[in-house]
Each structure stands twice: as structure tokens, then as C-alpha cells.
Amino acid sequence: MSSLFGDEPASQDLGAATRPLAERLRPERLEDVVGQRHLLAPGRPIRTMVDKDKLKSMILWGPPGVGKTTIARLLAKESKADFIPFSAVLSGIKEIKTVMAEAEKNLRYGRRTVVFVDEIHRFNKAQQDAFLPYVERGDIVLIGATTENPSFEVNGALLSRAKVFTLRGLSIEELAELVNRGLKEMSVEADEQVPEMIASFVNGDARNALNLVEMAASVADGGRITQTSLEGVLERKMLLYDKSGEEHYNLVSALHKSVRSSDPDAAIYWLARMLESGEDRMYLARRLVRMAVEDTWPPKATRPNRR
């Protein structure tokens, strides 16, 4: 169909072409997902659920950019179920109840519903509890995604009804494969070292890797990404860290253990890692003082015999 401004299909193609590369490369089948083979390979837990057509409620726990949303979409698709995405940031109990009513109606017509809750740890207790009766009755399959430890952030009642699966950051080899897919999709050439450079930079985050491919391609000289042009885009590596989340306590624990085991190289590494990630220097100073006091007081001669 033509209009004053040209053919309509051309405008639709433009919209597709401007989608982020990560969205354009989103897999259409579970077999195409890069990484998470411990869950998705034949005979592994999630793959087996799909093969036996016995999809159950689950929590997908892992760092950003490892495929939580993609896997949830594909599980719904391969189970021939309606897929309803929720954002824990934007949705409340009213929206939950509306969707649950629709899911009950679908069930009466023989259609299953997968409700996907992104950042489920942001839902409060009342919001999480609103899912319980529907999960209990099997009206819906609930798939929650979280970057935080579900044991701390998800209600025990909901955890008892949903299996927790841990997703891992992608390996250098897996990320390099994904980068090569991105280069092919964008019809861009690159120096041999480029895929591994990007893969080493992104801390296992596939989305970040593909975003870097797009950015590097946009500034590439002559349509080729060179090692030099990529270094200008990368500038400084951003370390995975959350001042109040799971990663914060993991690094503090690593620092404590390094000091107590008298491993100065490891202690300096973890201290530098936290400083580089933006941790408050006063917090670290207080921690170091506490470590010194805990490990040296009271003196050995006055310590009680606990045997």
C-alpha cells in the first residue's frame, strides 16, 4: 500500500531494523539459547519439563543478561501457553487479580497461561501472596526472574510451590559465539581479537555484549571493528556489584576469608575490587578495623577454652 510518504512496508522494515541487536537476536527455540546448558541440554531439568509437557512454576535466579526473560518466553511458546509478562516495578495487586481472572477463563477453554514476573524480588509480601492460590490450583504457571537470592527475597510459601533454578553468567567462549552472531546480523567485519575482547569485558552478560557490538559498529572506520576502535568504546570495565545485594556480601565475605587465612594477595584483590566498583571507603575502613579486632582480641592467653 502506498501513501504520500512512500510504501507502508518500508516504514515497517525501518521499525524492525531499529530494534536493539539483542532483541533482533532473541532465540526462537530453546536449542538456540547460548549458555545455560546445565538446564536446557537434553536430559537436563528444564528441557525435560518441556519434552514431557509438564511445565511447573519456577524461579530463575541469575545475574543480568543471562537469558531469564528469553527462557521464560520460549517455555511458554514450546508449551503452547499464553505468555503474560509482568513488571514488578509497574504492577500491583489490582493488575495481578485481573490477569488471574483471565487465566482462569483460559483454563476453562483448555489454554494454559504462563505468567512471567520480572524482578519478582521487588514485589512485596502481599503482592507475592496474591499469586499463591492460583499457583496452588494450577490455574497458572508462574515464572519469576530475579537477580537476588530468592531465599531472602521471595516468600517461603511461594518458594515451596516453585522450583528455583540458578542461571550462570555466560563463559568467554559462549559470549564470543554470541558476538559473532551479532557481527553477522549487522554485516560488520571485525579483527580476530574483537569477539574475545568483548566477551572478556562484559562479566558474562550477553545483552551487554550485543550492545557493545552495536556501539562498536556505529563508530567503526570503514565498516570494520578494529582492536583500536573497540578499545575506544570499551574505555573502562564495569564490575558486577550491588552495594546492598548478594554480590556485596559475597565480596565482603571473600575479603574476610582472605584476611583470616593470611593471604595478602587475595585480600588486596578483593579490597581493590570493591573500591573499583564504587564501595564506600569508610565502610571498608570500618570492616578492616572490625576484622583486626575480631582476630586479635582477646589475646590468646586470656581466651576461654571452648573445648
The Cα angle at residue 233 between residues 229 and 237, in degrees rounded to 5: 130
pLDDT at position 307 is 45
Find the Cα–Cα–Cα–Cα dihedral 284, 286, 288, 290, rounded to 10°: -140
Percent of the chain with pLDDT over 90: 38
**pLDDT (0 to 100) of residue 237:** 54
Residues 6+ apart with CB under 8 A from 148: 61, 121, 245, 246
The predicted-structure confidence for 287-297, as pLDDT tens digits, reads as follows 888 887 776 55
Cα–Cα distance for residue pair 133/150, rounded to 1 Å: 20
pLDDT given at position 284: 83
pLDDT at 164: 95
Q: Does the global pTM surpass 0.85?
A: no
Backbone conformation region of residue 189, classed left if phi is above 0, alpha if psi is from -120 to 50, else beta: beta
Q: What number is the average pLDDT over the span 225-249?
A: 70
118 backbone dihedrals φ, ψ, rounded to 5°: -80, 140
Q: Which of 27-36, 118-127, 208-217 has the lowest mean pLDDT?
A: 118-127
Q: Which domains does the chain have, with CATH numbers?
A: 36-166 (3.40.50.300), 172-234 (1.10.8.60), 246-302 (1.20.272.10)
Q: Which residues of 175-206 are buried (b: 16+ CB within 10 A; e: fewer)?
A: bbbbbebbbeebebebeeebbebbbebbbbbb
Task: State the average pLDDT over residues 211-220.
Answer: 88
In one-letter notation, the amino acid at residue 103 is A
pLDDT level of residue 4 (50, 70, 90 thresholds): very low
Q: Is the pLDDT of residue 254 over 70?
A: yes
Residue scoring higher pLDDT (39 or 255):
39
Q: What is the identity of the amino acid at 248?
A: H
From the CB of residue 254, how many other CB atoms can be counted at a distance below 10 Å? 17
Q: Round to whole Å and give the CA distance between 10 and 5.
A: 10
The β-bridge relationship of strands 58-61 and 6-7 is unpaired
pLDDT of residue 1: 47
Residue found under cell 545475574: 63
Cell of 113: 497461561
Span 97-111, average pLDDT: 82
Report the pLDDT value the prediction gives residue 129, as an integer from 0 to 100.
Answer: 86
Strands 6-7 and 113-118: unpaired
Which residue in 149, 66, 131 sits closest to 93, CA to CA?
A: 131
What local confidence, expressed as pLDDT, does residue 146 receive?
93
Under 8 Å between Cβ of 191 and 216: no
**Bridge partners, residue 3, by sequence:** 6
Q: What is the mean pLDDT of the chain?
A: 83
Asked if pLDDT for residue 305 goes beyond 60, the answer is no
pLDDT tens for residues 40-65? 999 999 999 999 999 999 999 999 99
Alpha helix (H) ranges present in the chain?
8-17, 21-24, 37-40, 45-51, 68-78, 93-108, 125-129, 132-137, 150-153, 156-159, 172-185, 194-201, 206-218, 227-234, 246-260, 264-276, 281-296
For residue 153, name the pLDDT band (cuts at 50, 70, 90): confident
